Structure 1
């Protein structure tokens, strides 16, 4: 599963570290959060500094570490109130029994407990403690109070502890914590997109990648498509609030976060899945897949042995998936793609009309800088006459940026269609 890091690149996290041997895991946690694109600032209690130095966190986060409530140098820049306002999330990991008690009682005798009272950001705590201290009635009362106050408690893991005991109390692994934080912000963004996104509530089906047409059990006919453009579009449509199903030929790409992926091999399989999705309900159909035009008439049951200098294989035409969908009675908004090597605009405009599409995006795959394997693209977009929209030229950019521009073009066309005459 791949995540869109643009969602987290603007998010700010205060990672608070309290006293405990698990503080060493917090150093790894900073690194993982940074890998996900978060801006991280670290707050350390005095107990935490007995286990690991502030210099370690400064080097990993790229920011000075905050340790004192009444620090004249800190107050001249980012004081505790400004720090509390800065955060999108306050994550305490590890959270000691002492800090849980302070939070529950509303004490404010150090920087961290003051931040807890001063911030409007969500607060997460990842307790790390001896198994008996975790089970103590006082600790459980404090946890109940925190949950009632809206604090998100990340349950500790079970296992052997530094003290030699075995049981609940281990801080979860940094990778798991970072992943949970990432999921939280993506779900938050998703909720906004589903309500206000350009494609909010739309059901989108996208075909992507190549198809493989078997010759025998070990050989096939295919093409150079990598699926990158289709996968980028799937991510962009999901980010715009759509419910996305991606019907993909064989590619080595991670499924975008939130997208349902159906894996196929041949053109016939891709058409079958597309028709099933049409029956289930589809508002927008985007055909980016490089579907093989022909397939072998008769697939050999066993591997064809080498014999002579020539091999004759009979080919028959594959169905045109996008044209077939466009002819259906319950016809969605149809978006086609034209990957050409010459007469780009002429061929694309012809396909738009011949296949009865609403919109077509074309590109020149003969260019090495924007070909099949490239991470960048440049496209020209045409619309059917009924939309009264001029063609759009999308200048060379990353496929993610091109995908976003295509989503905007689709949204503009749909809104244009819905305008009263």
Structure 2
């Protein structure tokens, strides 16, 4: 058996642990593993008629080569946001351009090429680790006849079909630690502390950070906010605090009522522009409304960087192990999942069947912009 493996989209702590688990379990069965570099760009950049000449876009993975990778963050396979089914013709190597017809809009569907690469390398099953975008393409390949297995990862914890995604726990753990540290400066200068976090469409990471750090207010992507109302609440919070400061956590995808998400740059292959700037916008607006000095901090890539915590080590290792166990049983076309506290599986295309968002009615107070857990008994570990 020959497995392929890749990591796509943004990196998160725990990816290397999943890679290591897949490799060790595969080799224990006498199988081999090829890692594609830079997500879906790896197979796109591989020439099926000259696999040796394009070997730089792949690497053989062995127990020795992955022996210590679980101790660090990121991904040894690197990553990208490449989408082979819609990629700019200008980004393709010549050997793909020659064989793939261009569309009128300048984009190309290189899926036939990717399938040819999988066949040329004699890969029996491809394991894709990623979020909605990466996994949706893996599901497409499976439907086209190339067996795949999917492992969900994202700090936002928003892949539909699973209660947990690799990277979420480390993100929240690290954000809580940083917010606690930032309080010392905010308190010393008696300011409003505005902390911006990841969360394009789902506010779970911001909600978790706000809930566990006891932030005064938390703005999530699912609920638009009124700036004047926020100014009133934060001013009241600051006055009630003996240290005369207040803390507000905000998802990068949060927006004012009647406004829009703040984004910039060109859209990636999946149609997403870079988010960021809502914290600065809120801070400037609050300064104008209240006259109080602001301390604005975007935690950004600090939440992606560094080693995983114990939860993400555990889930990543178990997802990788489970994927190989299932392949050994002859099962493919599945996404690893945790539902109601148990490891289970879903169809590979489950991530395209719905959205995973904060349950506002059960977990959030939209009038006062803060977490409000209506019931703990019977919920999952992460209050899903």
> Would you say same fold, with TM above 0.5?
no
Superposition TM-score tier, normalisation by shorter sequence: under 0.3
Higher relative contact order (CA 8 A, sep 6+): 2
Between Structure 1 and Structure 2, the one with more strand by share is 1
TM-score by length of 2: 0.27
Larger radius of gyration: 1
TM-score by length of 1: 0.25
